[in-house]
Amino acid sequence: MNVLVFLIPAALALGLLALYGLFWSLKRNQYEDLEGAAYRVLQDDDIEQKK
């Protein structure tokens, strides 16, 4: 049963990490434009700057 001493904190820590992720992404407005973000990756405006 000693293994519980590690496993339960580990489970909680992983859960908390995910929760932190959610709060972080909400704060950074990551869900504001779900459609646009997918296409923004394909923009090559950064290439123009290199020329």
Partner 1 sequence: MGAAPDYSHFVKTDQEGRSRLDLAIDGITCAACLDDIETAMKRLPGVILARLNLTSHRLAVTFDSGRIDSGALAGALEAIGYRAYPYEQRKVEADEAARFTLLLKCLGVAVFAAMNIMLLSVSVWSGEASTIAPETRDFFHFLSALIALPAAVYAGQPFYTSAWTSLRQRRLNMDVPITIGVFLALTLSVYETWHHAPHAYFDSAIMLLAFLLAGRVMDQAMRRRTRAAAGNLAALKGENALRFEPGAGPEKLELVPVAALAAGDRVLVRAGERIPADGEIEQGSSALDESAITGETAGKPVGAGDMAYAGSVNGEGALTLRVTAAGHAALIDEAARLIEAASAARSRYMRLSDRVSRLYAPAVHLTALATGLVWLALGASAHDALVIAISVLIITCPCALALAVPTVQAMASGAFFRAGLFLNDATGLEKLGEIDTVVFDKTGTLTLPEPRVVNAHEIAPDLLALAARLARSSRHPLALALARSAPSNAPLPDARETPGQGVAAPYEGGEARLGSASFCGVETGASADEASAIFIRHGESWAKLAIRQTLRPDAAQVVAALRNKKFRIYILSGDRPQAVAPIAEFLGVEDWRGGQKPADKIAFIEELKERGAHVLMVGDGLNDAPALAAAYASLSPIDAVHLTQTQADAVFLGERLAPVASALAIARKARALMRQNLTFAIGYNVVAVPVAMAGHASPLFAALAMSGSSILVTLNALRLRGPGKSVTLAPRQASGEADSAPRFSRLAS
CA distances from 18 to 4, 12, 35, 48, 51 (A): 21, 10, 23, 37, 40
Binding mask 19-48 for partner 1 (x = CB under 8 A): x--xx--x-----xxxxx-xxx--x-x---
Q: How far is the CB of 43 from partner 1 (least distance, A)?
A: 6
State the alpha helices, DSSP H only, in the chain. 4-27, 34-40, 45-50
Q: What residue ranges bind partner 1 (CB under 8 A)?
A: 1, 4, 8, 11-12, 15-16, 18-19, 22-23, 26, 32-36, 38-40, 43, 45
